[in-house]
Amino acid sequence: MTTPYSSEAFLHQLLGKALAAHASDIHLKVGQPPGARVRGDMVYFRVDKIRPEDSEAAARVLLAGQPARDELAALQEHDTSVVVPGLGRFRVSLYRQRGSLAIVLRSIPLQVPSFDELGVPSAVRALAEQDHGLVLVAGTAGSGKSTTLAAFVGHINATLPRHIITLEDPIEHVHEDNRSSVSQREIGVDTADFPTALRAALRQDPDVVMVSSLHDGASFELALHAAETGHLVLAAVHTPDVARTLGRLLALGKSPGEARDRLADCLLGVVAQRLLPRRDGTGEVLAAEVLIATAAVREAIRRPEGSPSLRELMEKGVTPYGMQTFEAHVRQLVGQGIITKETAKAVTSL
């Protein structure tokens, strides 16, 4: 049955209106009108509620040319990405709920963002120019981890003659070769899973390996091994702050003591970030805490008992190393008039 959602033009118009309202995500779910996440809140278009045939039609348009389109009846969840001319690239997540298809699209700019455009702290940028070691980008869902990782890859690609391999699920930002050669591999399309791809990457002569999600013990072990053997490893971790990021990874290690020593040896730094609504309503701004792996930080990872906490080390490392706590950055954003005091109070104890 033909529906408006069978039309590519209709879907593109819907996405265009959502982006004009500065939406980060667009939702299509049976039983409600199309929705969009604007400045953190869900808002809905003033149109008819979506029917099962509408969401199925939209899925067929979005999956055009992909094998999953022919398997739609059996599909339970599926992640991919699409390019909409004139609007940009979208990460697409399809899933079933109450037996019907639902779709969430996240906007990804076609242009790879720079560190300056994102507002990434300067101490983090220096990590992109290291020859080897482990750099972690942490945050909860929707905190911009993938975009920050893309900025890392973009910076290296623009400035250094390297071979970069990215392992992504799915591929989001597309990198054209510049000074570097960039090989982008999508989980489920170009390779089976992250551990398989990481093992293979070490035989593909990389200088840099980017991992879009470090969430299991096998991947963590392989990422450590890659960093230990002379590669720069950039990886995202789904944790809210620096302390819980390191705690999560250490819990994944086979031997806690050995994992502490190995992580202390190869860690370069951690940036844990969140996106906060701007005061002027024009979008979101990055707020981050930054840990740089100084000698004192490495010792605190190896022997936490009797060492200063990571928070204390971040507070003491502001001037010499460019470290910062999340609270300090939020306070700075308030002082600059970028976010409101109400936003600051909602996310910290300020």
pLDDT digits (tens, 9 = 90+) for 231-253: 999 999 999 999 999 999 999 98
Cβ neighbours of 53 (radius 10 Å): 15
- Give the CA diameter of the chain: 69
Q: Which of 83, 108, 133 is the last residue of a domain?
A: 108
Residues 167 and 276 in one domain: yes
**Alpha-carbon distance 91 to 173, whole Å?**
10
Mean pLDDT throughout 73-84? Answer: 89
Quick one: pLDDT at residue 63? 93
Quick one: pLDDT at residue 254? 81
Residues 167 and 59 in one domain: no
Residues 210 and 311 in one domain: yes
Residues 127 and 66 in one domain: no
Quick one: pLDDT at residue 71? 85
Share above pLDDT 70 across residues of the chain, in percent, rounded to a whole number:
99
Euclidean distance between the first and the last CA atom of the chain, given in angstroms as a whole number: 55
Tens-digit pLDDT profile for residues 317-350 = 999 999 999 999 999 999 999 999 999 999 987 5
Residues 188 and 270 in one domain: yes
**Alpha-carbon distance 63 to 70, whole Å?**
9
Q: Which of 108, 127, 144 is the last residue of a domain?
A: 108
pLDDT category of residue 207 using cuts at 50, 70 and 90: very high
Quick one: pLDDT at residue 85? 84
DSSP state of 282: S
Residues 120 and 104 in one domain: no
**Alpha-carbon distance 347 to 344, whole Å?**
5
Q: Which of 75-89, 153-167, 191-205, 213-227 has the lowest mean pLDDT?
A: 75-89
Mean pLDDT throughout 290-319? Answer: 96
CA proximity to 129, closest of 246, 224, 207, 226: 207
| Torsion sign across C-alpha atoms 320, 332, 126, 132 | positive
Q: Which helix (H) or strand (E) holds 183?
A: strand 181-186
Question: For the whole model, what pTM was predicted?
Answer: 0.88
CA proximity to 167, closest of 132, 128, 194, 202: 194
Quick one: pLDDT at residue 4? 92
Residues 198 and 51 in one domain: no
Residues 222 and 277 in one domain: yes
Quick one: pLDDT at residue 170? 87
Secondary structure of residue 189 in the 3-state scheme: coil
Residues 76 and 127 in one domain: no
Q: What angle do CA 35, 103, 12 make, to 5 degrees?
A: 70
Domain count, the chain: 2
Quick one: pLDDT at residue 339? 96
Q: Which of 108, 133, 166 is the last residue of a domain?
A: 108
Question: CA distances (Å), 267 to each of 136, 252, 331, 336, in order?
Answer: 8, 16, 28, 32
- CATH number for the domain harbouring residue 53: 3.30.450.90
- The first and second tokens of residue 179, run together, are 């000074």
Tens-digit pLDDT profile for residues 156-188 = 999 999 999 999 998 989 999 999 999 999 998
Measured in whole angstroms, the distance separating CA 286 from the mean position of its chain's CA atoms is 13
Query: Which runs of consecutive H residues, i.e. helices, occur in the chain?
Result: 8-20, 52-62, 115-118, 122-127, 145-159, 194-201, 217-228, 242-252, 256-266, 295-302, 310-316, 318-321, 326-335, 341-347
Quick one: pLDDT at residue 119? 94
- The first and second tokens of residue 31, run together, are 């039983």
Residue 1 pLDDT > 70, yes or no? Answer: no
Quick one: pLDDT at residue 73? 87
Residue 17 pLDDT > 80, yes or no? Answer: yes
Mean pLDDT throughout 266-275? Answer: 97
Residues 98 and 214 in one domain: no
Quick one: pLDDT at residue 109? 80
Residues 138 and 227 in one domain: yes
Domain that holds residue 59: 4-108
Q: Which of 51-60, 77-86, 319-328 has the lowest mean pLDDT?
A: 77-86
Residues 86 and 212 in one domain: no
**What average pLDDT does the chain have?**
94
- CATH number for the domain harbouring residue 339: 3.40.50.300
- The highest-confidence range among 33-42, 67-76, 303-312, by mean pLDDT, is 303-312
| Strand order, beta sheet including 133-138 | 181-186, 163-168, 208-211, 232-237, 133-138, 267-277, 284-292
pLDDT category of residue 110 using cuts at 50, 70 and 90: confident
Residue 282 pLDDT > 90, yes or no? Answer: no
Quick one: pLDDT at residue 350? 59
- The first and second tokens of residue 335, run together, are 């002082």
